[in-house]
Amino acid sequence: MNKRILILLGFFMLLSCNYFKPAAKPAAIARVEDNYLYREDLKDLVPAGTSKEDSIVIVRNYIDRWASQKLLIHAAEVNLDKDSKASFDQLIKQYKTDLYTKAYIEEVVKRSVDTIVSETEIKSYYESTKENFRTNGTLVRLRYVNLKKDNPKFTAIKSKFLDYKKSDQKFWDTYALQFKSFVLNDSVWVDMSQIYSKLPFINPDNRDSYIVSGKTIEYPDSSDIYLVKISHVLDKNQISPYEYIKPTLIEVIINKRKLELIKKFEKEITDDAIKDQKYEIYK
């Protein structure tokens, strides 16, 4: 066999070896079995302005998570029995159907639902269903002022606070900047979590001694003093006040409209399919 033939044989052997090797994946940065992760998959992964060190950590963590998921799904496909996989495949198929239809219906409803609810409709719904809207905890109406003990106008502020009148608004506007915090509108119902936050000297252990309808409180601490007037207390499991529950009522009414629209839409799409002979039931 001459030298030229040997060279040709070697060339063809090299080609045949390369033929059976997996094709190189351009710009691949990781591989798990036959799955490749490419540089383009990492696009926009790292936020602008991230340091080089943090960028490396973010990218490495992403690659590790990607690899773990691929390895786990491969292990699951190999080790789960046939019936289990068939059951999961059916769940995946159903989930896709539910996800698509839900997104589509929500888009249709969003474009069609009337979100304007009149005061008359809200009050009417409240009167007919208020037994269903009971308080989960204590609700309170109160007013309070938190100010420095040494405030030179403390006596006047206390007097105006205890004998609060809306006509004194100019007075309160004048001194409001001197208060650390305050609430003068005692027509709004609040829950106990807000009271604990605004009046830290009140807590679950001593609340019963403070949260009493009509009670006036003057509580000094190291440098400040709290003036508090409890207007009204509504205990747990009472019918929720209209103004307190009003936002929930609006949401409930709109959700009812959405459900009615969905039922109407589903019926119309079915009726249209029957009319256009796209939907038939064979007897």
What's the pLDDT score for residue 8? 44
Closest-CA residue to 29 (of 55, 66, 57, 54): 66
What's the pLDDT score for residue 17? 55
Low-confidence ranges of the chain (pLDDT < 70): 1-26
What's the pLDDT score for residue 11? 47
Distance between CA 87 and CA 76 in Å, rounded? 13
What's the pLDDT score for residue 16? 53
DSSP string, the chain: --HHHHHHHHHHHHHHHHHHSPPP-TTEEEEETTEEEEGGGGTT-SPTT--HHHHHHHHHHHHHHHHHHHHHHHHHHHHS-HHHHHHHHHHHHHHHHHHHHHHHHHHHHHHH------HHHHHHHHHHHGGG-B-SS-EEEEEEEEEETT-TTHHHHHHHHHT--GGGHHHHHHHGGG-SEEE--TTS-EEHHHHHHH-TT--TTTHHHH--TT-EEEEE-SSEEEEEEEEEEE-TTSBPPHHHHHHHHHHHHHHHHHHHHHHHHHHHHHHHHHHTTS-----
What's the pLDDT score for residue 98? 94
Residues 164/229, Cβ–Cβ less than 8 Å: yes
